[in-house]
């Protein structure tokens, strides 16, 4: 299993904090934001990890992470020339992933669950991780039929048909890259990861798991603040 952290994008929702740095290097309580997805992967037993970033701050990522020796892993790096969507960024990792399965996490996602069992039991296809949220319209939203079966995923719907969000944590086999090549840009000009997930779903090859621990997308000023508050509270409770 390979690990992939997608840390590109322009961070427009966090300006002016991101005027001179990448959002994934901002602090969440006492660590850079990027450390949380990194620790998620290493807790899962993954030791080969690729970080995809924009070219403007690539050197800062390398200065922060180095070769990976400090973390007991080996890092690889890829550059995304421009923000073209999550799926476009994932497509840059094909040479790294090769024939292996992969666990993919967005660099601004704070996932506190232990996914080691999910890493070891993944056998192919795709898997998404769901969490109940207050504002599902901000995310990809799973739609279930009357029997509780997942029938599709809707990207940022105005009227969400469930209270769940598709979090920025995914698992894929290596057929994901052919699927990405077959995508067409959405109305906002990006290759959407929701379209990738729906392609697996149509073939009956998409699994889903409900996260049990808190999950946050720290990509806005408010969610960045709340993520820091949550981590501080959990750190204090362990003292």
46-65 per-position pLDDT tens digit: 999 999 998 777 888 998 99
Q: Which candidate, 108, 208, 222, places its Cα nearest to that of 152?
A: 208
Please list, residue by residue across 78-112, b when 16 or more beta carbons sit within 10 angstroms of its beta carbon and e when fewer do. bebeebbbbbbbbbbbeebbeeebbbbbbbbbbbb
Which residues are CB-contacts of 188 (< 8 A; sequence separation ≥ 6)? none
Task: Please report the pLDDT score of residue 239 as a whole number.
Answer: 64
Q: Alpha-carbon distance 4 to 53, whole Å?
A: 11
Task: Please report the pLDDT score of residue 148 as a whole number.
Answer: 86
Phi then psi dihedrals of residue 15, to 5 deg? -70, 145
Averaged over successive runs of 10 residues, the pLDDT of the chain (239 residues) comes to 89 77 90 96 97 86 91 94 88 96 96 96 97 93 93 95 96 97 89 96 96 91 92 82
Phi then psi dihedrals of residue 236, to 5 deg? -65, -35
pTM given for the model: 0.94
DSSP 37: H
Task: Please report the pLDDT score of residue 17 as a whole number.
Answer: 76
Work out the percent of the chain whose per-residue pLDDT is above 90: 77
175-212 per-position pLDDT tens digit: 999 999 999 988 888 899 999 999 999 999 999 999 99
Phi then psi dihedrals of residue 132, to 5 deg? -70, 135
Give the domains, in start order, of the chain with CATH numbers. 2-237 (3.90.550.10)
CA neighbours closer than 13 Å in the CB half-sphere of residue 239: 6
Task: Please report the pLDDT score of residue 22 as a whole number.
Answer: 85
């Amino acid at each position: 299993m390979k690990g992939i952290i997608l840390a590109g994008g322009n961070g427009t929702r966090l300006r002016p904090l991101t005027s001179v740095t990448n959002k994934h290097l901002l602090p969440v309580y006492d660590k850079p934001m990027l450390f949380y997805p990194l620790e998620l992967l290493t807790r899962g037993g993954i030791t080969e990890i690729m970080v995809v970033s924009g070219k403007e701050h690539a050197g800062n990522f390398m200065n922060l992470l180095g070769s990976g020796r400090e973390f007991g892993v080996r890092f690889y790096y890829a550059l995304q020339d421009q923000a073209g969507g999550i799926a476009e960024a994932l497509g840059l990792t094909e040479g790294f992933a090769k024939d292996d399965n992969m666990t993919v996490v967005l660099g601004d996602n704070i996932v506190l669950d232990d996914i080691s069992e999910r890493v070891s039991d993944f056998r192919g296809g795709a898997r998404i991780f769901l969490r109940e949220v207050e504002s599902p319209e901000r995310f990809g939203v799973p739609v279930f039929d009357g029997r509780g079966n997942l029938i599709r995923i809707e990207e940022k719907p105005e009227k969400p048909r469930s209270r769940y969000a598709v979090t920025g944590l995914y698992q894929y086999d290596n057929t994901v890259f052919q699927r990405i090549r077959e995508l067409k840009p959405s109305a906002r000009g990006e290759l959407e990861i929701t379209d990738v997930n729906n392609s697996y779903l149509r073939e009956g090859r998409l699994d889903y798991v409900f996260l049990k621990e808190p999950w946050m997308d720290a990509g806005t000023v408010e969610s960045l603040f709340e993520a820091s508050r949550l981590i501080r509270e959990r750190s204090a409770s362990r003292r």
